Amino acid sequence: MTPFADNRYDNMQYRRCGRSGLKLPELSLGLWQALGDEGNEAICRECMYYAFDQGITHFDLANNYGSPSGHSEQVVGEVLKDMPRDELIISTKAGYGMWLGPYGDWGSKKYLVASLDQSLKRLGLDYVDIFYHHRPDPNTPLEETLGALDLIVQQGKALYAGVSSYRGNLFQQAVEVVQKHDWVSITIHQPSYSMFNRGIESDLLVHTHELGTGVIAFCPLSSGVLTDRYLNGLPTDSRRGKQGEDGRRWYEQQEAEGVWDEVRALNKIAHARGQTMAQMAITWILRDERMTSVLIGASKVTQIAENVKAVQASPLTAEELQQIEQILTD
């Protein structure tokens, strides 16, 4: 077993996931990026080890992460052999296209059960801590999808059930179905949420708070927009920069819509409080006590180190929150 830092829990804060007994770190690591461009196990291992030494105990996956699909789980499975399983929260998902034919997509019981069985083999685990339905399925009854999650937990293949990208009303319906059948509760919801994507504030968060469900935000930096990466033009080595003409059109459209002006204004507030733009974007999400955790992606240890500082920063003041709100709503 790899030796990890004895003080790894000293500087990370943990929040209870809704009304469950599960606690998650305020910062969690999504492993769709932590493999490097070549799916390098050494990069993944370095990122996971460093994150764990900082108190990040939650590592998030999905069946289709990596190239080919499933590769991320396979690489992570190798790393997990040298980590203390009982100190970790491992989550995975199913809901997007995974294999050919009618049984490799969406939300049928056939797909969800088979997909998790495959994920467990790739990860080398007997169970995952959280298993999510990755996206709503408009053609499969909620009863079937949620019944599959209940079956999976009852079988001991997952400890907690979650959903991702369910809008508020659909989430409420899902909880009603679960309660009607006395199935395992939906412990956590994973929606997209950032300064530039706030739809859940007036929709989903009302329901999750009332029903006692935890919330973990993905895409907190709006796919890199809420960083200082693009403030001085489109870097040629950025993900968008590598897209050539499509990337240039995207950048110019953001410029025309005033996005970069907003980011520059937000960046000034961040610097005034001693943070980077990315750090303040994370601190801003965690201002809401209804949020359990923020899910970050990283392909370098330095990116994790920067983001960890966000949870160690002082809370945003009322004045700072007002300034941010004015920028976001003008």
Residue 138: cis peptide before it, omega within 30 degrees of 0: no
Alpha carbons 14 and 24: distance in angstroms, whole number: 5
Overall fold of domain 14-224+277-315: TIM Barrel (3.20.20)
Burial class (CB in 10 A: 0-12, 13-18, 19+), 307: buried
Calculate the alpha carbon distances from 143 to 133, 137, 182 in Å.
13, 11, 12
What pLDDT score was predicted for residue 34? 62
Query: 131-169 burial string, b = 16+ CB within 10 Å, else e?
Result: bbbbbbbeebebeebbbbbbebbeeebbbbbbbbbbebe
**pTM of the entire predicted model:** 0.95
The residues spanned by each domain of the chain are 14-224+277-315
Where do we find the tokens 């739809």? 199
Sign of CA dihedral 81, 301, 243, 220: positive
Alpha carbons 221 and 52: distance in angstroms, whole number: 22
Alpha carbons 270 and 220: distance in angstroms, whole number: 16
* Structure-derived torsion over alpha carbons of residues 50, 51, 52, 56, reported in degrees to the nearest 10: 160
Distance of CA 60 to the CA centre of its chain: 7
Per-residue tens of pLDDT for the chain, all 330 residues: 678 999 999 999 999 999 999 999 999 999 986 676 666 899 999 999 999 999 999 999 999 998 889 999 999 999 999 999 999 999 999 999 999 999 999 999 999 999 999 999 999 999 999 999 999 999 999 999 999 999 999 999 999 999 999 999 999 999 999 999 999 999 999 999 999 999 999 999 999 999 999 999 999 999 899 999 898 888 887 878 888 888 889 988 988 898 999 999 999 999 999 999 999 999 999 999 999 999 999 989 999 999 999 999 999 999 999 999 999 998
Query: What is residue 210's three-state secondary structure?
Result: helix
CA 25, 61, 152: angle at the middle one, nearest 5? 95
**184-187 — which CB contacts under 8 Å span 24+ positions?**
184/149, 184/150, 184/153, 184/154, 184/160, 185/20, 185/161, 185/213, 186/146, 186/149, 186/161, 186/162, 186/213, 187/17, 187/18, 187/20, 187/22, 187/130, 187/160, 187/161, 187/162, 187/213, 187/214
Phi, psi of 104 (to 5 degrees): -115, 30
